[in-house]
Structure formats: structure tokens, C-alpha cells
Amino acid sequence: MNVTSFQWLLIVVAKIIYFVNGNWITGNLCWSMPCLNGGSCFGSAYTYLCVCPVNFSGALCERHLGICQESPCGNRGVCVETGLTSFECR
């Protein structure tokens, strides 16, 4: 095994160990809690990913996808949200 292969192996092993323990060498960007509206954060020292709850989207779960987003009204009805989980067709 040459030096380059050995260095690569150490990096891979270190990343696996830190991933399993839930820590990264220089911290974790999720510590700042960037995800909004109850989104779950998965990250490392260099990047993160927000997994959004139902009815929210965006990189930070910042956009509310209302119930009318899916156009539930037929026959050219206009959907009007009357709450987070209710609507009327007009």
C-alpha cells in the first residue's frame, strides 16, 4: 500500500467513525438549527440538508405548501384555504 492509498483509507475510516458518532471534526452546521417549521436537519461541518414536514418545502422548509397547492377543486373552481388543513371551492 503506498502513501496515497493509506491517506485515502484514513480519511474514509475517519469519516465513517465521525458519521456513526454523529460528530464531524469541525462541528456540525445543524447546531445552528437552520431548518424552519419543524424541519429535520442532517449535516456535517461543510453542508446540511433540511427534510421538511408535510406542507412545507424549500432549502430551509421556509415555504408553506397550502392545501390548495394541488388544485383540489374541479370544474375551474377556485380553491380558498380556510385553515392549514381545510379549504373551500368557489
Choose the weakest-confidence range: 1-10, 21-30, 31-40, 78-87. Answer: 1-10
3-class secondary structure, 4: helix
Domains in the chain: boundaries: 3-89
**Three-class DSSP labels, 15-40:** HHHHHHHCCCCCCCHHHHCCCCCCCE
For 11-68, what is each residue's pLDDT tens digit? 444 444 444 444 444 567 888 889 999 999 998 878 889 999 988 889 999 988 888 8
Q: What is the pLDDT of residue 2?
A: 44
For 46-57, what is each residue's pLDDT tens digit? 888 999 998 888
71 against 8, higher pLDDT: 71
CATH of 3-89, one of 3.40.50.300, 1.20.950.20, 2.10.25.10, 3.30.565.60: 2.10.25.10
